[in-house]
Amino acid sequence: MTSGANEADPFAEWAPHGIDISTPSIARVYDAALGGKDNFAADRAAAEQLFSRVPGIREGALENRKILVRGVRYLAEQGIDQFLDLGSGLPTAQNTHQVAQAANPDAAVVYVDIDPIVLAHGRALLSENARTRVVTADAREPDRVLALPEVRELIDFTRPVGLLMVAIVHHLNDDEDPAGTVKAYLDALPSGSYLFLTHFHANGSPEAAIIEEVLQGAHNTGRFRSREEVESFFDGTELVEPGVVTLPYWRPDTEVREPLRPEQRIVLGGIGRKP
């Protein structure tokens, strides 16, 4: 870390040693998009680039947080009491463990993210929560993730698991075998487990094209896929009603206000049960 980076960014002093804060991180850009404080100048610049071209992008990010709450609540209602949250990002309000443990205080949650800042913040926030873990690992390596002691300590893979892949698979490019990665995790889970997945939708809108252009240009990530491609990630599961839909339509808590804004239409999501 250079002194110039520290001078340019007042938040740099709390960055873990060895972190390159000059390069945007997906987790921190997402945090900036949600109005969080756990990000650096490069992350905020990347978020501002999106805001300048798609002014409503923050609303799109908020829709993803809203469905996280609804989805975890649904899984808890089905009796799921252990959750593996991949690519979880930085802690915000209404995290997976908060929703799950509100329904069942004994629910176990393991967060996995490649960004070490997620680990640092997660450990600080969850130091007194014995039923929650945060680990730094690459979700693209399912065999390694599933073998981690921190995962095995809390997750009993002989019992149904809620697998969360919320806003992560679209950060796997085609040459990283996203379908194979999802399948590897599903194959490791017993019958009665659930896959909860959301993904950027290539719906032909200008907003989708702009976001993909910006993310690919800045991060070489952020792949928009067709509805058929997104639905294929649920192969081997039985889709829960209403299936794979635009986020506001997935079991909304209140009546959906029509018409949806363009930024509300750029992500699909759903939950599938492994028979």
Tokens in use for 183?
Answer: 């399948």
Rounded to 10 deg, the angle between the 96-103 and 57-77 helix axes is 30
What's residue 197's pLDDT? 99
What's residue 32's pLDDT? 76
Query: How far lies 224's CA from each of 16, 138, 144, 229, in Å?
Result: 32, 21, 27, 10
What's residue 93's pLDDT? 66
Quick one: which of 155, 182, 164 has its CA closest to 72? 164
What's residue 19's pLDDT? 65
In angstroms, the CA 198 to CA 170 distance is 8
What's residue 4's pLDDT? 38
Q: What stretch(es) of the chain map to CATH 3.40.50.150?
A: 57-273
Q: How far is CA 74 from the centre of its chain?
A: 17
What's residue 3's pLDDT? 35
What's residue 116's pLDDT? 79
Q: Does domain 57-273 have CATH number 3.40.50.150?
A: yes
> Which residues of the chain fall below pLDDT 70?
1-20, 90-93, 218
- Alpha carbon distance, N-terminus to C-terminus of the chain: 49
pLDDT digits (tens, 9 = 90+) for 107-158: 999 999 988 777 777 777 777 899 999 999 999 999 999 999 999 999 999 9
pTM: 0.86
